[in-house]
Amino acid sequence: MWVATTFGTASTGTAISALSGAAASNAAIAWLGGGALATGGGGMAAGQALLALAGPVGWGIAGTTLLASVLLTVKKRFKLQEKKKDEIIKLQNLTNELRKVGVNIEQLIDQTVSLKVELSQQFQECLHYDSTNYSTLNSEDKQILAALVNNTKTLSKMLSKTVESNT
């Protein structure tokens, strides 16, 4: 009401602050309602409704709205926290899986390098069989060449191995 009586004007064009009594009160209420009905405003009824909302009813509506807003904000925050927790758990699981894959890769590299070194040594030892007829070799020499062939096949299979994760 203070704003209406200080700054408002009646439908007659007179400043409400210049009026007194019931005329000032009615003009202020009509001004709060958007002006007189004759000028296209809401009139005194709309002004009274606005004042009612500004009173206890208005405070109740505002309080309920504020409480609902706070509850929705808290609910959203909890959902975000749960989502963050889920994402952190997923990330931890993926990190653990990646570590396992890393260990598997290291083991495969170690096995491959070890077999390659052994194969290289066997190859060096078998160089003197070059241009030798296989049927003239004794059983021990044939076993040495068979081991070279088997290790070559094993290394070939290891080179085509892939490391897979469980995810």
Percent residues over pLDDT 70 in the chain: 83
Structure tokens at 98: 């990646």
The Cβ-side half-sphere exposure at 75, using a 13 Å CA radius, reads 6
Structure tokens at 116: 């390659």
47 class by beta-carbon count within 10 Å (0-12 exposed, 13-18 middle, 19+ buried): buried
DSSP letter for each residue of 85-128: HHHHHHHHHHHHHHHHHHHHHHHHHHHHHHHHHHHHHHHHHHGG
Q: Does the pLDDT value for residue 87 go beyond 90?
A: yes
How many angstroms separate the CA atoms of 48 and 37, rounded?
13
CB of 41 closer than 8 Å to CB of 30: yes
- Residues with Cβ < 8 Å from 54, sequence gap 6 or more? none
Among 29-43, 47-61, 79-93, 121-135, the minimum mean pLDDT is found in 47-61
How many angstroms separate the CA atoms of 114 and 106, rounded?
12
pTM: 0.47
Range 128-142 average pLDDT: 88
The Cβ-side half-sphere exposure at 2, using a 13 Å CA radius, reads 1
* pLDDT score for 95: 94
State pLDDT tens for residues 29-43: 787 777 667 676 677
